[in-house]
Structure 1
Amino acid sequence: MGIFSNIMDKIFHHKPKAAPAPTTPTPAPQAAPTAAAPAPAPQVIDVTASLDDMAANAGQKLDWRHSIVDLMKLVGMESSLSERKELADELGYSGDKNDSAAMNIWLHKQVIKKLSENGGKVPAELMD
């Protein structure tokens, strides 16, 4: 599993600590077999809500909205320069990886963009 896949997995499978457990409704019995129901639409994950909940329980201030380092720390991942360079390779960064500031800005934008492309609900201000 790649670094981006790990980030996405941690965000998309985050369960808020304060949320009540979901209940599963019991399906009503059917009198006769029917045609197969269409597959349910994929669930849209509210990325901001997941990350804000993680941040509220992080025990430290992490600016995930602007920093790839803080975003990676927030989801419990290694945020070292070597990890970020590996993520840059994974996402197709073609700039100078020795210019970590420029790479970090690009990485943050790409991670947010990729989360959106993979079913994440991301506010427009984070997509700029």
Structure 2
Amino acid sequence: AAEAVPVPPETCNAETNAAPMPAVDVVGKLTAMAAANPQKLNWQTSIVDLLKLLALDSGLDARKKLATELGCPADKMGDSAQMNIWLHKTVLAKLAANGGNIPKELL
């Protein structure tokens, strides 16, 4: 049987050696963007306004597609208000999970 050859450290997965990403002040950035936007957007509670602020398609079809991609439960998909609430919380939770500092009251 062949012996296992040790893997040199420089070929190890980069993620194992990477320093943790610093938290991003998502709230500060979004608040600044909202202040500069001519529309009065309530991104803290509205997925439509959050998507508009990010210059993304906020139409119902786009929101349904995003909700489906993120795994929205079927019982919420039939009610756009419930889907929107779920989608808003999920998008903010994804931002938090990827280094964004989102206050707990928004999650």
Task: Determine if the TM-score, normalized by the shorter chain, exceeds 0.5.
Answer: yes
Amino acid at match of 2:43: W
> Are residues 1:53 and 2:32 paired?
yes
Alignment of 1:27-38 (within 5 A): none
- List, as ranges, runs of 4+ consecutive aligned residues in structure 1 with deviation greater than 6 Å: none
**Unpaired segments ≥5 residues, structure 2:** 1-16
TM-score, structure 2 length as denominator? 0.79
In our comparison, the structure showing a higher alpha carbon Rg is 2
Query: Which TM-score applies when normalising by structure 1?
Result: 0.66
State the distance in 1 between where 2:20 and 2:72 align.
32
Instruction: Name the structure with the higher helix share.
Output: 2
RMSD: 1.3
Shift of 1:97: 2.0
Give aligned pairs, total: 90
Structure 1 65/40 Cα, relative in aligned 2: closer, same or farther at 3 Å?
same
Identity of aligned residues (%): 51
Q: CA deviation at 1:39?
A: 4.5
Structure 1 residue runs of 5 or longer lacking an equivalent are 1-37
Instruction: Tell me the secondary structure at the aligned position of residue 45 of structure 1.
Output: coil
Task: Please say if 1:87 is aligned against 2:43.
Answer: no
